[in-house]
Amino acid sequence: MTLASDKTQISYSIDKNNIIRSIDTNFMAFAKANGWDSAESDVIDRHLGEFISGNEIKLLTEKLIDKVRRTKHPISIPYRCDSPDARRYLEMRLQLFPDNQILFANRILRVIPQNLPGYSLLRSTNCEDSDCVCSWCNQAKLKDDQWVDIDVAIRSLDLMAGNPELKITHGLCNSCQAALTKASE
Ligand SMILES: [Zn+2]
């Protein structure tokens, strides 16, 4: 599949076995802006699942893919993907192409500048048995099982102090889990 180059869109496609076969030029630029410095060859010909952290979200993504193949109808789902200097609201659209290929087109809907120096610390920490950030809406779970906005969490968890004990993993908050489950059924 040849991907169109549209500056507001980040696209990639998978084949019938969910192997990533193409990515557009914006993809690597976006990845780099998110602190993920790697080459196109690190992505192409690898299974989509390798790039999704968390079993729950992996399973729901598979269900969404199955639904698009089954119904042949595209699915669009909003999500959030921040950087240290901006809140970014995006929409992911899954669309079926011949031979059961799926195109993932991620469109940036809205960007709100912010200044969140502790953010990179939050993202780079990665462990089991830990505090949790929702992969989908970017809210963070506090000790009392409450999901709050990431900047609230950063203040509350004292990330700015560089707490070395902090462990963060990615999962799904209750409302995103419900929304994604509904979308995949
Ligand atoms: Zn969420």
* Structural domains of the chain, ranges and CATH numbers in brackets: 9-184 (3.30.450.20)
- Contact criterion met (CB below 8 Å) for 111 and 86: yes
The alpha carbon of 142 is separated from its chain's Cα centroid by a whole number of angstroms, namely: 20
**Taking the CB of residue 12, how many other CB atoms lie within 10 A of it?**
22
Distance of CA 85 to CAs 28, 111, 153, Å?
A: 18, 10, 16
Task: Read off the pLDDT band of 124 (50, 70, 90).
Answer: very low
Write down the residue that tokens 């200044």 correspond to. 115
How many whole angstroms from 1 Cα to the centroid of ligand 1? Answer: 31
- Contact criterion met (CB below 8 Å) for 12 and 62: no
In the predicted model, is pLDDT for residue 113 greater than 70?
A: yes
Mean pLDDT for the stretch of residues 40-64: 89
How many whole angstroms from 130 Cα to the centroid of ligand 1? Answer: 16
Give the predicted TM-score (pTM) of the model. Answer: 0.77
**What local confidence, expressed as pLDDT, does residue 105 receive?**
95
How many whole angstroms from 141 Cα to the centroid of ligand 1? Answer: 10
How many whole angstroms from 71 Cα to the centroid of ligand 1? Answer: 26
**What local confidence, expressed as pLDDT, does residue 127 receive?**
36
Residue 135 or residue 90, greater confidence: 90
SS3 content of the chain, % helix, strand, coil (to 5): 35, 30, 35
For 136, the 3-state DSSP assignment is coil
Distance of CA 74 to CAs 24, 77, 111, Å?
A: 19, 10, 24
How many whole angstroms from 53 Cα to the centroid of ligand 1? Answer: 14
As a whole number of angstroms, the distance between CA 104 and CA 13 comes to 6
